[in-house]
Amino acid sequence: MKNNIILLKTLLRSTSLHNTFKYTKDKKKKRKVVGNYIGLILIYAMLMVYSIAMCVGYGLVGIIDAAPAMCAVVISTMAFFFTVFKTNGYLFNFKEYDMLMSLPFKASTVAGCKFLYMYVKALPWYISISLAMMIGYGFFAAPSLLSYPVWIILTFFLPIIPMLFASLIGFFIAKVSSRFKATKFIRTVLTFAFVILCFTLRYIIEAVFKDDKVEDTLEDISAKVDTAGGIYLPIRWFTDAVTRTSIISTILFIVSTVILFAVVFHLVGKSYNQINSALKSQATKKNYKMTSQKKRNVVNAVAFKEFKRMVGSPPYLVNAGIGEIMAVLLGIVTLIMGFDRIVAIVTQNAPFDSSILQPAIPFIAFFLVGMVATTACSPSLEGKNYWIVQSLPIEKTTLYQGKMLFNMYLTVPFMVFATICMCISAKVPVLDTIMYLILAVALCAYSSAWGCVCGIKHMRLDWENEIEVIKQGAAVAVYMLPNMFVVMGLTALVIYLGTFMNHVLIALIFILISLLLAFLSYLRVISLAKKA
């Protein structure tokens, strides 16, 4: 454990924003660090407000006793999914692998240190949720004073077990893919399959327990959380420790976490070198032939470079492509099951005309496809090779035009496919469908340009692991979270307008708004590119 702490301190110091602010003499870097801190504080504040609001809802309904279990469920779920996406870049196939493995540490020690680094970097997310729910629970339930320190201590242990399970899954995916020549392709396919399975698991469970009907939504959630506590014991241990100040549950929770950590990284350590070596190797064709190179204009060449960069990085490909894959699945499922049937399932058979949802079709598709823009992280992905970009005989505006063009190439086909499928299933008139398709393309243009603004404004080049900018970068957070909430709000607004306005007129209004926002964002990109 001492070696783990030494390595962990070194990794944290080398990637610390505080150290960057403390030692750099570049005022621009200092402003970026301050901007990153402000953005993170705002995101954590939003999470805390949402968590407190959840406890207020529980308190008003009279089921505040379910709050600790819900806190454990939320943190465990977040920790599991965050780790599934990040295992590929943190535990396996990371850039500093050769340097770390040359140090006098065991493979299990290196793997354990990388896990702890991943845990510490994500810890503020979990603490903000837990502290907010503790405040809400304390206000309504008025527990004993001992409950508060127990809650705070166990908060640090809550994410570890789900992170360990996610790491084991990532380990098995990496182990299976390392046995094939096309390691990147196999690893990417397996990761996509697992993520999609996780997203659909809710509906599979509901299909199994479809006879369970509870009228009150909050009581339904509370009952399901109690059921989860019976299956996943750490939820029950956390709840008992907080509500009953059970010493036995507290000890069981802490001891089982430590034992699982030791067991998991003992298993991982046995194959760690073999897996990383296989993942870093590249397969080549024996019958390779030199052919003439294709000529492209500069903007298309930059877009093609972005494509090669994405395909060469499974974490980047999964993160950038999961929304597109889900949009395709949504389109296919809508064609098979029918738009009305999907609406009935989502709204729990609420009695209203599904045709009023038709103007929201482009926004539903964009919620998935526009989830992550490649332009939000691609400027930072240049990393330590940014000097090469600086020395190229092309203007910065051309470079960022190519990055935006690639995001258009990536998103527009999937947006069009999902929109057409939903329009066919919903029997949308031809004119309305054409307007929705134009709106879909306009939204992609806005996503590409606004993502590029975030990517340049919050560019980070001193990363040691690409996951830090693909999943945890300030640019991605600034783009993704507000974008998701705005899209949800616009979807609700469009549905409301659809009850009394012409659908073609609604589409036309939002086409103009989207194009205007895309144009303003594009002008901002050009302005930032000239200053970069």
Taking only the tens place, the pLDDT of each residue in 235-249 is: 888 888 888 888 888
Judge if 269 and 327 occupy the same domain: no
> CA-CA distance, 410 to 300, in Å (whole number)?
13
What local confidence, expressed as pLDDT, does residue 139 receive?
87
Flag whether 291 is in a domain: no
Going 16 to 463 to 91 to 123, the CA torsion angle's sign is: positive
> CA-CA distance, 463 to 11, in Å (whole number)?
11
Flag whether 286 is in a domain: no
Judge if 498 and 436 occupy the same domain: yes
Q: Which residue has the higher pLDDT, 191 or 271?
A: 271
Statement: residue 102 has pLDDT above 90: no
Q: Across residues 309-320, what is the average pLDDT?
A: 77
Spatial CB neighbours of 412, under 8 Å, sequence gap ≥ 6: 440, 441, 444
> CA-CA distance, 510 to 451, in Å (whole number)?
19
Taking only the tens place, the pLDDT of each residue in 363-411 is: 999 988 888 888 888 888 876 666 666 666 778 888 888 899 999 999 9
Judge if 474 and 335 occupy the same domain: yes
Closest Cα partner for 448 from 481, 408, 484?
408
> CA-CA distance, 263 to 523, in Å (whole number)?
54
Instruction: Place 520 in a pLDDT band, splitting at 50, 70 and 90.
Output: very high
Flag whether 52 is in a domain: yes
What local confidence, expressed as pLDDT, does residue 414 receive?
92
What local confidence, expressed as pLDDT, does residue 420 receive?
93
Rg (CA), the chain: 25
What local confidence, expressed as pLDDT, does residue 522 receive?
92
Contact 361, 422 (CB under 8 A): yes
Judge if 371 and 448 occupy the same domain: yes
Taking only the tens place, the pLDDT of each residue in 12-67 is: 777 777 777 777 787 777 887 787 788 778 878 888 888 888 888 778 877 788 88
Closest Cα partner for 440 from 322, 303, 327?
327
What local confidence, expressed as pLDDT, does residue 183 receive?
47
Judge if 268 and 334 occupy the same domain: no
What local confidence, expressed as pLDDT, does residue 407 receive?
92
What local confidence, expressed as pLDDT, does residue 212 receive?
44
SS3 for 54-86, per residue? HHHHHHHHCCHHHHHHHHHHHHHHHHHHHHHHH
Structure tokens at 126: 């979990």
> CA-CA distance, 47 to 433, in Å (whole number)?
37
Structure tokens at 120: 């510490």
Flag whether 267 is in a domain: yes
Judge if 15 and 86 occupy the same domain: yes
> CA-CA distance, 241 to 238, in Å (whole number)?
5
Statement: residue 211 has pLDDT above 50: no
Judge if 393 and 486 occupy the same domain: yes
Q: Which residue has the higher pLDDT, 221 or 431?
A: 431
What local confidence, expressed as pLDDT, does residue 272 receive?
67
pLDDT exceeding 90 applies to what percent of the chain? 14
> CA-CA distance, 93 to 34, in Å (whole number)?
31
Distances (CA, A) of 117 to 14, 217, 284: 12, 38, 34
Residue that terminates a domain, selected from 229, 251, 280: 280
What local confidence, expressed as pLDDT, does residue 509 receive?
92
> CA-CA distance, 434 to 503, in Å (whole number)?
12
> CA-CA distance, 380 to 373, in Å (whole number)?
13
> CA-CA distance, 373 to 403, in Å (whole number)?
10
The total domain count for the chain is: 2
Least-confidence region, from 108-112, 119-123, 505-509:
108-112
Flag whether 287 is in a domain: no
Statement: residue 425 has pLDDT above 50: yes
Judge if 268 and 306 occupy the same domain: no
pLDDT exceeding 70 applies to what percent of the chain? 75
Residue that terminates a domain, selected from 247, 280, 313: 280
Q: Which residue has the higher pLDDT, 283 or 337?
A: 337
Flag whether 128 is in a domain: yes
Instruction: Place 182 in a pLDDT band, splitting at 50, 70 and 90.
Output: very low
Flag whether 371 is in a domain: yes
Statement: residue 279 has pLDDT above 70: no
CB atoms within 10 A of CB 517: 17
Q: Across residues 296-310, what is the average pLDDT?
A: 82
Domain extent for 442: 298-531
Flag whether 289 is in a domain: no
Contact 20, 464 (CB under 8 A): no
Global pTM value: 0.64
Q: Which residues in 40-64 are b (16+ Cβ under 10 Å) and which e? A: beebbeebbeebbebbebbbeeebb
Residue that terminates a domain, selected from 248, 280, 312: 280
Statement: residue 178 has pLDDT above 70: no
| Residue entry with tokens 């407190």 | 52
Least-confidence region, from 38-47, 153-162, 212-221, 413-422:
212-221
Helix axes 430-457, 474-497, angle to 10 degrees: 150
Judge if 270 and 336 occupy the same domain: no
Closest Cα partner for 83 from 43, 115, 111?
115
What local confidence, expressed as pLDDT, does residue 221 receive?
52
What local confidence, expressed as pLDDT, does residue 447 receive?
92
Least-confidence region, from 36-45, 122-131, 421-430:
36-45
Judge if 202 and 250 occupy the same domain: yes
Judge if 62 and 18 occupy the same domain: yes
Q: Across residues 222-230, what is the average pLDDT?
A: 54
Q: Which residue has the higher pLDDT, 216 or 289?
A: 289
Judge if 192 and 224 occupy the same domain: yes
> CA-CA distance, 473 to 460, in Å (whole number)?
8
Q: Across residues 441-450, what is the average pLDDT?
A: 93
Least-confidence region, from 54-63, 262-271, 289-298:
289-298
